[in-house]
Amino acid sequence: MDIRKIGKTPLAVTKIGFGGAAIGGLYRECTREAAMKTLQTAWDAGLRYFDTAPFYGFGLSERRTGDFLRDKPRDSYVLSTKVGRFLRPVPDDQIPDHSYVNPLPFAIDYDYSYDGIMRSFEFSFARLGLNRIDILYVHDIGAYTHGTEKNAVYMDQLLGGGLKALEELKSSGAISAYGLGVNEVDVCLDVIARHPIDCILLAGRYSLLDRSAERGLLEVCRKQQISLVIGGVFNSGILATGPVPGANFDYGPASEDILDRVRSMQAIATAHDVPLAAAALQFPFREPVVANVLIGTAKPSSLTRNIELLATKIPDTIYTECEPFTIR
């Protein structure tokens, strides 16, 4: 599988990576056996970049990812996790609902400060059971997650010390790269204007349907050699399932407007005899700053099916014809 560099760092990742939210039980339960089989399928297919986070299953994804990777040669893969959330043990009847099914018994606290970043980093080592993390992403900073008022507090923490912690970790060799793991464009531009970063894991904002990243972010990334890792390439499912009843977009039920847009895209793909999902999966690679696209699933069959879509030849005209129906 093709290898692409992360920013100006010596790190390189496979063009397709494994996203660890689903093996933490996002939306539906994932057994340990299913998680291990899916991770093995990813490895057998040549994926060597694995992304996880404390938030995914409240520690469950990190534990499973670490368990799988522990016996693999350490220089044979790249691992990323995230900082900004702490896990606090709570009674079973107080476990919050963040769409994870049967997560570990923790609640979530936010902390983007210097001490918070350092502590989160150390706690991830314990859950992973590994002694090296390659990339750290600041997870879900921004108004999309926190709202404007609360995010102002968290941004003060990040700018006042959190980014310094990440720079110290990189300078000491504890990590090789750091950046943001977010669902919005504006916060990326805000942080980049104040501090250099290596990469951005951008979920759902540079896809066949939602091209919000074209609103200034791509240009800045090109100029500063910041790599993009693209999550949510199917926009929570609708670009994989098509505009079927119950289709999801942006972590919730798709509106009629979104369904109409995807119906139009589906018709264009069908006219070219191309699966819409294949066009969606390959779309981000048209942009040179995209280093990786993450596939997140807890089913080996789904992972295999998505990887096979990479072999589909997509005419450029599909992307041109779909452009009027995109979100920007």
Q: Catalytic positions, please?
A: 51, 56, 82
Q: Are 54 and 85 in contact (CB under 8 A)?
A: yes
Q: Using the structure block, give the residue that is written with the tokens 């990887």.
A: 307
Q: List phi, psi (to 5°) of 85.
A: -120, 140
| DSSP states along 157-179 | HIIIIIHHHHHHHHHHTS-SEEE
Sign of CA dihedral 14, 70, 62, 168: negative
Helix (H) or strand (E) holding 68: helix 60-69
In angstroms, the CA 145 to CA 151 distance is 8
> Beta strands 85-89 and 106-110: pairing type?
antiparallel
Alpha carbon distance 59, 38 (integer Å):
18
Chain Cα centroid distance, residue 286? 18
**CA gap 121, 211 in Å, rounded:** 32
Which residues in the chain belong to E strands, given as ranges?
A: 3-5, 12-14, 16-19, 49-51, 78-83, 85-89, 106-110, 135-139, 177-182, 199-203, 227-231, 248-249, 252-253, 290-296
- Which candidate, 322, 326, 292, places its Cα nearest to that of 42? 292
Q: How do 248-249 and 252-253 pair as beta strands?
A: antiparallel
